[in-house]
Structures are given as structure tokens and as C-alpha cells.
Amino acid sequence: MKFQWSMLLGIIFALIVAVFAVINVDPVSVNYLFGEGQWPLILVILISVLLGGLIIGSAGIIRIYSLQRKIKTLEKEKRELEQKNGSKKENPKILTDSK
């Protein structure tokens, strides 16, 4: 259900951006570090949205990758502790009172 809502909100956002971009087709001045150029506002809007999506997507992929590495490390540590604990259960020490 969460995926469906995310997809629906993504489609709605894309439609809003597309309508907004189509309405704004006037040429605008874009200043670069090395010069200036005239671009249609529709391209400026669409390129900005695409670059923003790529940046956010990259940040999400990096976060997922780091979490997967952490999970792998913790699972390895858990297995080692279980093996250590299992060997103690197999060879329990018998405690006796020495009076």
C-alpha cells in the first residue's frame, strides 16, 4: 500500500511539474560561471527537476548501500556470538560447593 501511495504522489508531482513547465515557455537568461545563455523556461524547469531527482536518488542509493553493509556486519557478529554461546551450552561447567 505504501508503494502505491508513493507512486500516486510521484505521478501527481510529475503532472504538476509538466503543466507548470508547459505554461512557462518564455526564454530566460541563464548565468553560468563562464558566460550567459538564453534558454526556454520549460527546459530550465525540467532539467532542474531531473537533476534534483538524480541527486536525491543517489543519496538514497548510498544510504541503502551503507545500511546493507551494516546489516551484513551485524549478522556476521550475531552468528559468531551464537556459535560462541552454542559451544558454552555444549560444554557446561559444573559448579560444586566446596565446603
On whether residue 98 sits in a domain, the answer given is: no
On whether residue 96 sits in a domain, the answer given is: no
What proportions of the chain, in percent to the nearest 5, are helix, strand and coil?
Answer: 75, 10, 15
pLDDT score, position 99: 53
On whether residue 2 sits in a domain, the answer given is: no
Go through the chain and tell me how many residues it has.
99
**Residue-number span of the structural domain to which 55 is assigned:** 12-88
On whether residue 58 sits in a domain, the answer given is: yes
Total domain count for the chain?
A: 1
- Grid coordinates belonging to 62: 548510498
On whether residue 49 sits in a domain, the answer given is: yes
On whether residue 63 sits in a domain, the answer given is: yes
Task: Output the tens digit of pLDDT for each of the chain's 99 residues.
Answer: 777 888 888 889 888 888 887 888 889 998 888 889 999 988 888 888 899 989 999 999 999 999 999 999 999 999 999 898 876 666 656 556 555
